[in-house]
Amino acid sequence: MIDVIKNPRITEKASFAQEQNVYTFDILEGANKTEIKKAIFALYNVKPIRVNVLPVPKKNVFSRGKAGVKGGGRKALVYLKKGDKIEFV
């Protein structure tokens, strides 16, 4: 259950969203919203109000003369109540 969440997504956009109590996580491909809510409660002991799941598109990259594909996957936006907080170590 806890392995549904890969890691917190630390980006500039995600850090601005944390000010509005919205936290962003990278998640597994097959994870659904109820599994994500349970995993957040198990890991951080806070109850999410709402969870949005979004696809992260793959990107074409060009490095050292070779073309390749980077990334892709899914991310979850977790909304918390006003007083709740998640601390990343």
* Residue 75 β-bridge partners: 26, 54
For the chain, the structural domain boundaries read 2-79
Contact 65, 34 (CB under 8 A): no
| pTM of the entire predicted model | 0.87
Output phi, psi for 51, to 5 deg: -130, 130
Q: What is the pLDDT along the chain (89 residues), one digit of tens a residue?
A: 789 999 999 999 999 999 999 999 999 999 999 999 999 999 999 999 999 999 999 999 999 999 999 989 999 999 999 999 998 87
Q: What is the CATH number of domain 2-79?
A: 3.30.70.330
